[in-house]
Amino acid sequence: MDSLNNGILDALKPFRCLRLRVEVRATRNILLPPYLGSTIRGAFGMALRQTCCVLRHQECPTCLLRSRCVYSYTFETSLDGESGKLKRYTSAPHPFVLNLDTHPLGVQETGSVFSFGVTLIGRAADFLPYFVYTFQRMGELGLGKGRGTFEVLRVLALDGRGVDAEEVYAHGDLHLPAKLLGVEDALAGVGTTGDGRAWSPEGPGSGGLEQAGMSGTRAGGAEPSPAPGGAGGDAGSAVPGLSELQVRFDTPARFIQRGGLCRKPRFDLLVGNLLRRMENLVRFHCGGNGEWVYGSLLEDAARVELVRDETRWHDWERYSNRQDRRMKLGGFVGRALYRGRLTPFLPLLALGAWVNVGKGTTFGLGRYRVG
């Protein structure tokens, strides 16, 4: 690993997270939309506020208890005490990400079992008991049209490869996980083919929006072709020579450039968005206090070529209760193949795959895989 890679690794080392899979059973028929982001996020926020809020009629920004409130920390994260370049943001990034399957779930009949994922970032993991109770409360309040209900069967903590590592809640018993995950664990979830191309443990043909049935207008002009991939071993076995890498955007990625949405998955835009997101997550939720220098990183990222663009534009709509209107949240989905000096960026890309990228990450947008 060269000095540039070491610099990214050093900056990412404070990052810690807890990746959860919440397994539930429907106790009354639940009608779920094809994409669960808005439904789960809305139910999560409502249940957490009911669980934690003492002053129900007080708005979070003016509440005396906001600095000690789990709901306020999770959904209304404050910029208090920050100055300089961070003041251009209206709020800090939320300390959670929803990890949701993209296939249409439809009606979950009474007795059926399904699951959803939540990643808790940094200090948010300390509040695991609150969140487990909130998942239970979500089931009582109900989901989707008709407010179908569910019961929580168990909550699993996943390891770096996304495998069920530890049962943290079942049958009313809760315990804290043995460890939180960091950048080293993220790298363990990514390997290479041995010929300088990156792959993911799921394999090149797994999942994706093609199988989900989502369609849209193609953002790039090329017709789809087989994805590179294959079997590999240790995460570092061929990484030093990494020159070709595929990224699969499973849910719409929304990158803003010069005030408008970008419709092509340029590598420098991907890296720039990841750097800003990771810096803010480390700063606000993982105890980091240094400012990152992007200049040389972005210059190197701009030299990486987008050699195959198999992405397409997908528009997703949600209804905002706060704004009382429907909102269209479009972004590109599909595969992009990059070529160039990629090894230094692998830690950033591997960890970013856990926290999503671009706008709307807490709705599950910007979810991607390396490989």
The answer to whether 227 and 118 have CB atoms below 8 angstroms apart is: no
On whether both 164 and 235 belong to a single domain, the answer is no
pLDDT per residue as tens digits for the range 76-97: 887 765 544 555 556 789 999 9
| Mean per-residue pLDDT, 309-328 | 73
- Residue 347, pLDDT score: 93
Characterise 93 by phi-psi region: left (phi > 0), alpha (psi -120 to 50), beta (else).
Answer: beta
Average pLDDT, whole number, for the chain?
80
- We report the CATH number of the domain holding residue 321 as 3.30.70.1900
- Residue 22, pLDDT score: 95
Q: Helices 3-12 & 346-355, crossing angle to 10 degrees?
A: 30
- We report the CATH number of the domain holding residue 23 as 3.30.70.1890
The answer to whether 33 and 144 have CB atoms below 8 angstroms apart is: yes
On whether both 163 and 254 belong to a single domain, the answer is no
On whether both 25 and 129 belong to a single domain, the answer is yes
On whether both 330 and 193 belong to a single domain, the answer is yes
On whether both 131 and 238 belong to a single domain, the answer is no
On whether both 161 and 207 belong to a single domain, the answer is no
On whether both 101 and 163 belong to a single domain, the answer is yes
- Residue 218 phi/psi, 5-degree rounding, is -70, 130
Boundary residue ending a domain (174, 206, 233) = 174
Which of 146-155, 227-236, 250-259, 287-296 is least confident? 227-236
C-alpha 212/C-alpha 314 separation (Å) is 12
On whether both 161 and 216 belong to a single domain, the answer is no
Entry pTM: 0.83
Of residues 363 and 231, more confidence is placed in 363
- pLDDT at residue 149 tops 80: yes
Split at pLDDT 50, 70, 90, the class of 270 is very high
On whether both 55 and 71 belong to a single domain, the answer is yes
Q: Helices 267-285 & 295-302, crossing angle to 10 degrees?
A: 150
Structural domain span for residue 155 = 17-174
pLDDT per residue as tens digits for the range 15-58: 999 999 999 999 999 988 777 777 889 899 999 999 998 887 77
Residues in the chain: 371
C-alpha 29/C-alpha 70 separation (Å) is 31
Could you tell me which of 128, 154, 129, 151 has the C-alpha nearest to residue 140? 151
- Residue 241, pLDDT score: 67
- The DSSP-derived string for 107-138 is EE-TT-EEEEEEEEEGGGGGGHHHHHHHHHHH
On whether both 132 and 233 belong to a single domain, the answer is no
| Mean per-residue pLDDT, 223-230 | 34
Tokens of 239: 């990484």
On whether both 141 and 222 belong to a single domain, the answer is no
- Residue 326 phi/psi, 5-degree rounding, is -85, 140
Boundary residue ending a domain (174, 207, 230) = 174
Give the total number of structural domains in the chain.
Answer: 2
